[in-house]
Amino acid sequence: MSNSNYVDPDQASIGKQMKKYAICALIAAFITLILSAIAQFLWFKYDGIISEEWLYISADGYKDEHLSWIRLFQSTLFQKSILILSLVSLAIFVIYMVYDVIRTIREEGASVSVFIAKTVAVTVIGGIATAIHCLADFLGIGGFTYDDGIYLLEERSFLPIGGYEYQEVWSVFPKLNVGLYVFLFLMVVILCLSIYLAGSLISLLSQHTTLVASVTAGVAAAVIAVGLPLLTRPSNIIVGVIAVVVFVLTLLVQIIAERMEQKKAEMMQRSSSYSSSNNYDDNDDDGSEF
Tens digit of each residue's pLDDT (9 = 90 or more) over 69-116: 878 887 888 888 888 888 888 888 888 887 887 777 666 555 777 778
Beta strands at 156-158 and 150-152: parallel, antiparallel or unpaired: unpaired
Tens digit of each residue's pLDDT (9 = 90 or more) over 128-162: 988 898 889 888 888 888 777 667 776 776 766 65
Give the integer Cα–Cα distance in Å for 130 and 25.
10
Q: Residue 150 forms beta bridges with which residues?
A: 147
Query: Which residue type, as a one-letter code, is found at position 28?
Result: A
DSSP code at position 53 = T
Residue 38 confidence (pLDDT) = 92
Query: Which residue type, as a one-letter code, is found at position 52?
Result: E
Give the integer Cα–Cα distance in Å for 29 and 149.
30
The model's pTM = 0.70
Residue 119 confidence (pLDDT) = 83
Give the integer Cα–Cα distance in Å for 126 and 142.
24
Low-confidence ranges of the chain (pLDDT < 50): 1-6, 165-167, 289-290
Rounded to 10 degrees, what is the CA torsion of 207, 197, 123, 16? 20
- Number of helices (H) and strands (E) in the chain: give both, helices first: 8, 4
Residue 37 confidence (pLDDT) = 92
> Judging by beta carbons within 10 Å of its beta carbon (0-12, 13-18, 19+), is residue 272 exposed, middle or buried?
exposed
Residue 34 confidence (pLDDT) = 93
Residue 3 confidence (pLDDT) = 44
Residue 6 confidence (pLDDT) = 47
